[in-house]
Amino acid sequence: MTGWLPKSLRARLILLAWALLTLGFGVFQGFMAERVGYGVRIAGVAVGGLATDDALTRIEAHLSAGGALIAHLQTAKREIAMPVADLGFTVDASCSVDAAGRSGRMRLPFGITLWLWPGGQASVDAEVDPARFAQAVAPLHKVADVPARDAALELSGDHVRVVPSKDGAQLDEVALERSILAALQQGRVFDGPLPTVVAPPKVTTAEAQARAELARVYVSSALTLRYRDVSVVLTPETIARMLSVNTGAGSATSPLTFGNPRAEKMLHTLFSAIETAPVSAQVEVSNGQVTITQSEDGRLIDMPRLVGDLDAVAQQPGLRQVFVAIRDVPPKLSTDEVRSMGLSALGSQFSTYFDPSNHARATNLTQAAKEVDGTLVRPGEIFSLNDAIGPRTVNRGFDYAPVIGPGGVLRPGVGGGICQYATTLFNAVFFAGLPIVERHAHSLFIDHYPMGRDASVSWGSVDLKFKNDTAKTLMVRSWVTHGELTVVIVGSTDRTVTYTTTPYYDIRQPTTSKSHPKVVYDSFLAKGIVRWELGGPGKSVAVTRTVRQNGAVLFTDTFRSTYQPKDWIKRVGTGQ
């Protein structure tokens, strides 16, 4: 076709075509440099050809709208919904997009990459902290585990019958962890039953059958228990219900035993009229005054001695009688001990307020106050709020309430509102003049907290810690009444506190606006419902505290808080 053209012209045209192809290839590669290769899917979501920021937004929207960030755990009675973050899982959508962006590319020297062919499937980048997961699912054992039934002996007329054992079930934490992680990596919601493994009984049917003949001696006649003028007769039928097969230490001399929770509970019930529980001293705080209540010793059955006597006497025919021993039991905390600790004085007290009609928040604050109340912090000890409260799960009494999630977006989370407890405790410790070991400000500014004196906590990550550097034991008291949360440090530190607060500085406006908001797809809102969250500027502030003792400066510390700009949020419901 080009044979009629001069040879030199043909060469120029070929060179020009090659130059245009090279230029076009270069322009195309430049265009693709910040984009995901065509044909790429992340967890089934098409992101090929999208700019990396757009791909990230699409994946985050898919995870949020699809409910993948909430694990739905099915039990025999009900469903438990838990944010995967509370279970110790971390999802990194940006890392997933970065990995997808490398699909279909050839890596050249000097960090140069070329997109040459269509990409394939990629998974969501997710990982789990095993320690956090184990702590978070520990309460689930209460709803998933089915206790195994030990084989038992039962008296039926003159015949001793064996009640067969039965396997139980125990939560399979490894299988649950792997299943939730696999669902996250596939970008789908985990919705399934709690996996279990077989839990064998401690006493098998065969072991009980081997002792059935011996049991005839144990139940051959009644057995009398005596304490002073109190006499209790155990009939053969009662003895049979109390006995268990002994598989532990001492089984050679006592093949059957009364040493089991069922028998001990029955014995406590039979002698409830002569038993009194010990009463520990209580530290009461009212109107800024501390009162210590009187402790009392208790009187309880000497159970180890009684069980040993019962095991020995029940094996013997003839007259069977056991004298019950009672022992004095001191309280865990006596009045003298409390006074010697120096807990008769008030260290500091701080209160914050909330809307009591917000039942979820009120529930979480009340539960947190209950968990921490009465905690002793001995000299030299470091108090951890996360350790004191423990995992925030529905099974432990916590409820769903808004928490600040990734990207500064409010999302429902179990235990939402506990940061108000952290803030209240921080201020009580602040004014007690105690060293703060760890404190984190909220990522967003909250106007109803003291300026620069808020504190944030999250199970398994950020914590609030303080040290008792005094020579005396301190106690943390806390309670909730009518929309008021109060935290008290009991025990005088003999310190005075002054502080200064800077004006807000480093003011930064959000990149979003009402006309260009950040869109969040929320499965907790009904489909079609739209809610707005106002944006606000980011800012910083510093609070410097000076702690004095006997007029001399003991130490000075500064708490710096940097709050990120709050985006304008358009929350779009996707739920049922």
Are 323 and 456 in contact, with CB atoms under 8 Å apart? Answer: no
Q: Which amino acid is at 372?
A: V
567 — phi, psi (to 5°)?
Answer: -70, 150
Q: Strand pairing partners for 242?
A: none
DSSP secondary structure, 452-472, as one string: T------TTS---EEE--SSS
Q: Which of 212, 213, 190 is nearest to 203 (CA)?
A: 212
The pLDDT of residue 330 is 92
Strands 569-575 and 552-563: unpaired
CB atoms within 10 A of CB 486: 17
Tokens encoding 173: 């934490």
Which H or E run includes 235? none
The pLDDT of residue 2 is 53
The pLDDT of residue 110 is 52
508 — phi, psi (to 5°)?
Answer: -130, 130
Q: Which of 317, 297, 216, 232 is nearest to 266 (CA)?
A: 232
Q: Which amino acid is at 410?
A: L
Are 181 and 87 in contact, with CB atoms under 8 Å apart? Answer: no
Distance CA 444, CA 348 (A): 27
In this structure, what DSSP letter does residue 109 have? Answer: G
Which domains are seen in the chain, by residue range?
29-141 (no CATH), 211-332 (3.10.20), 341-575 (no CATH)
Are 415 and 390 in contact, with CB atoms under 8 Å apart? Answer: no
Distance CA 296, CA 276 (A): 10
Q: Which residues of the chain have pLDDT under 70?
A: 1-5, 22-34, 36-37, 49, 65-67, 100-120, 157-158, 395, 400-416, 576
The three-point CA angle 266-149-75 to 5° equals 110
The pLDDT of residue 459 is 78
SS3 of 332, please?
A: coil
CB atoms within 10 A of CB 420: 22
